[in-house]
């Protein structure tokens, strides 16, 4: 009985924090296998129906970074009900450490989906900029997948991301910009 009450209390605290904290941006360059899927605070802007979490229009009026973020969120399982990325407000399944709300299996829990989307977009921007220690603009989507996933089924991950972008998994990041 107490365990159930404590779980409800924790859920209420997380909901309160997700509504009261603003999204922040760190621009942290993540190590290999350090990313986790997460969506932003405004799902409708991310091509997601906020009531059903169904993917709607993904590519209309979207930048390459937004499209890649959407592809990563799909590849990481953000849209799977009850998944770690969804529960952690983390569409990129990023590992940035405890930001005050804890972690789930090493994946950062963000205060809101918007914050998670922002962090994912920042990581992708670093990939494209050439400022990453792990990724560079000359890498293909499949090359990125091998690092991002820790070589855990990178072909499937790359195919999902490439499909959202409308390109082949062998396409280099620099050719997307």
Its domain, for residue 101, covers 29-175
On the question of pLDDT at 55 being above 90, the answer is no
pTM: 0.68
**3-class DSSP state for residue 91?**
coil
The residue among 71 and 36 whose pLDDT is bigger is 71
Please indicate, yes or no, if residue 3 is contained in any of the structural domains: no
22 lies in some domain: no
Q: 10-14, 25-29, 73-77: which range is least confident on average?
A: 10-14
Q: pLDDT for 19-30, tens place per residue?
A: 333 333 344 444
7 lies in some domain: no
pLDDT-wise least confident of 13-27, 76-90, 115-129: 13-27
In a domain, 17, yes or no: no
The total of structural domains in the chain comes to 1
The verdict on residue 9 lying in a domain is: no
Q: Helix, strand or coil for residue 172?
A: strand
Is the distance from CB of 118 to CB of 24 less than 8 angstroms? yes
What pLDDT sits at residue 106? 95
Residue at 159 is within a domain: yes
């Amino acid at each position: 009985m107490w365990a159930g009450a404590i779980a409800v209390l924790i859920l209420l605290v997380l909901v309160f924090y997700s509504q009261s904290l603003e999204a922040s941006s760190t621009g942290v360059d993540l190590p290999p296998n350090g990313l986790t899927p997460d969506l932003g605070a405004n799902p409708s802007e991310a091509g997601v129906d906020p009531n059903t979490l169904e993917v709607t229009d993904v590519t209309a009026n979207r930048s390459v970074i937004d499209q890649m973020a959407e592809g990563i969120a799909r590849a990481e399982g953000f849209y799977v009900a009850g998944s770690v990325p969804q529960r952690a407000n983390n569409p990129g399944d990023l590992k940035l450490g405890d930001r005050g709300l804890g972690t789930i299996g090493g994946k950062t829990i963000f205060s809101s989906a918007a914050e998670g989307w922002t962090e994912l977009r920042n990581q992708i921007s670093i990939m494209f900029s050439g400022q990453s220690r792990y990724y560079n603009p000359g890498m293909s989507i499949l090359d990125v997948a091998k690092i991002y996933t820790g070589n855990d089924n990178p072909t499937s991950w790359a195919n999902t991301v490439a499909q959202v972008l409308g390109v082949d998994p062998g396409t280099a990041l620099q050719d997307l910009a």
